[in-house]
Amino acid sequence: MKITVVGTGYVGLVSGTCFAETGIDVTCVDIDKKKVDMLLNGEVPIYEPGLDALLARNLEKGRITFTTSLAKGIKDSDAVFIAVGTPPDEDGSADLKYVLGVAREIGRHMEDYKVIITKSTVPVGTSFKVKAAVQEELAKRKVDIPFDVASNPEFLKEGSAIDDFLKPDRIVVGVESERAEKTLKRLYKPFLMNGHPLLFMDIFSSEMTKYAANSMLATKISFMNDIANLCELVGANVDLVRKGIGSDARIGNKFIYPGTGYGGSCFPKDVQALVRTADEYGHSLDVLKAVESVNYRQKSKLVEKIKAHFGENLKGKQFGIWGLAFKPKTDDMREAPSLVIIEQLLAMGAQVRVYDPVAMEEAKHTLKDTVVYAKDEYDACIEVDAMLLVTEWSEFRMPNFRILDKLMNNKLIFDGRNVYDPEEMKDLEYTYYSIGRETVNGPKSEKKQRVVA
């Protein structure tokens, strides 16, 4: 079986490589020549754990190749996956120009039957726009080549993308013909052998499932951030509350970690796009509107604590930031909370030193020369007035506090991911702010009035 994947970003490259791993013959197409050249050399342009080795193996076996020519890429393939970006348009809706551009190009070049599958995250009804675009191009060519469209949203997470793809909780496929269903069943057969469910449904429901899934996960996070903020006010500990509610199987213990707000290339844009779609239908998604506003507020949470500690003017103060990427195990800086935090600190006159194990180069595109790029986490703390932990990389979990004590001007930490144990911070005599927990060794005015029965 031969397939083509158009777009070699996080989704296209991981999908293509994982399909190749099952023995399928894969051609990946991208308009970015530099990327294609790198990939042909076995160099992976993004940081995704395990991807280099998997790609190298499949390149060596000749099961995967890369090209900038879609015409060449789709020749003889049974299925074409569209996995290009769908960034937010000015009004928050998904911009479909890349997806529909690829659809038109497929229509211009296809010579035999294909299933054209939209893997990008797209609003309900987009697969039919893809169908119309292909049909239009075939009509211009005055040819009648049969094809089907299908929807197969992707649920992988950055940082664990390969595992998520090879061992998915489920595979969702929207189809409107038996022929397309048969092709996709064959394609996903190796995954079914491991017992992962393949859910066939109509195309509208499949497209909607992707937005509903991301919106539900974003809702859990914003809910927990709101509860964490209340925990601080009433003197409760959100870590205990999280464990207390997470052990109820109906709630579940995943995606209920409070922090500095959700970021990344998916949740912010997908929640926004679903709200926008609903508005277009005259339906207000009030829950999701609240999810967005809580998330917006949460990104300023650490800076609010800094303001309460130091006051509004941070001139002459220096801060060390640990972690820049929107989450650990990725170099993706899209919608990273660190960017909001740094912008606010700089606006208040502070100086900032930053360190991230893999996202420094990506971060430079946005932060340019506004910050000092440290060589490691300790270098980021030289003569700083406080350290801010923003991304919970595992290497930040057990720092050598004796070294930090000597480097920092103050023993002061603002932890945006609740990585450290407040009891240990107390023993080490740090002033320690975290999310949804009592401040350790904080100013006296911080002490909360507990409600006593």
Ligand X SMILES: O=c1ccn([C@@H]2O[C@H](COP(=O)(O)OP(=O)(O)O[C@H]3O[C@H](CO)[C@@H](O)[C@H](O)[C@H]3O)[C@@H](O)[C@H]2O)c(=O)[nH]1
CA 155 to CA 27: how far, in whole Å?
21
- Stretch 380-409 residues interacting with ligand NAD (CB under 6 A): none
Spatial neighbors of 389 by CB under 8 A, at least 6 apart, are 322, 323, 396, 413, 414, 415, 416, 417, 419, 420
State yes or no: residue 101 binds ligand NAD (CB under 6 A).
yes
Spell 254-280 as b/e; 16+ CB within 10 A means b. eebbbbbbbbbbbbbbbbbbbbbbbee
Spatial neighbors of 347 by CB under 8 A, at least 6 apart, are none
State yes or no: residue 335 binds ligand NAD (CB under 6 A).
no
Question: Which of ligand NAD, ligand X, none lies near 12, with the C-beta cut-off 5 to 8 A by kind?
Answer: ligand NAD
Chain centroid offset of residue 93 CA: 18
Q: Do residues 255 and 245 touch, judged by C-beta distance below 8 A?
A: no
For the beta carbon of residue 349, count every other beta carbon within 10 angstroms. Answer: 12
Query: Mind telling me the catalytic residues?
Result: 266
The smaller minimum CB distance to ligand X, of residues 148 and 158, is found at 158
DSSP letters for 341-369: HHHHHHHTT-EEEEE-TTTHHHHHHHHTT
Question: Which of ligand NAD, ligand X, none lies near 83, with the C-beta cut-off 5 to 8 A by kind?
Answer: ligand NAD
Question: Which of ligand NAD, ligand X, none lies near 422, with the C-beta cut-off 5 to 8 A by kind?
Answer: none
> Given candidates 11, 115, 291, 381, which one binds ligand NAD under the rule CB under 6 A?
11
Q: What is the x/- site pattern for ligand NAD, positions 266-305, by CB under 6 A? A: x---------------------------------------
- Give the shortest CB-67-to-ligand X separation in angstroms: 26
Question: Which of ligand X, ligand NAD, none lies near 6, with the C-beta cut-off 5 to 8 A by kind?
Answer: ligand NAD
State yes or no: residue 102 binds ligand NAD (CB under 6 A).
yes
State yes or no: residue 120 binds ligand NAD (CB under 6 A).
yes
- Give the shortest CB-330-to-ligand NAD separation in angstroms: 9
Spell 383-397 as b/e; 16+ CB within 10 A means b. ebbbbbbbbbbeebe
The smaller minimum CB distance to ligand X, of residues 255 and 378, is found at 255
- Stretch 31-70 residues interacting with ligand NAD (CB under 6 A): 31-32, 35
- Judged by the rule CB under 6 A, the positions of this chain that interact with ligand X are 121, 154-158, 214, 217, 221, 255-257, 259, 262-264, 266-267, 326-327
Torsions phi, psi of 386, nearest 5? -165, 155
* Cβ-based burial of 359 (10 A; exposed 0-12, middle 13-18, buried ≥19): buried
Binding site for ligand NAD (CB under 6 A): 6-12, 29-32, 35, 83-86, 98, 101-102, 120-121, 154, 156, 158, 265-266
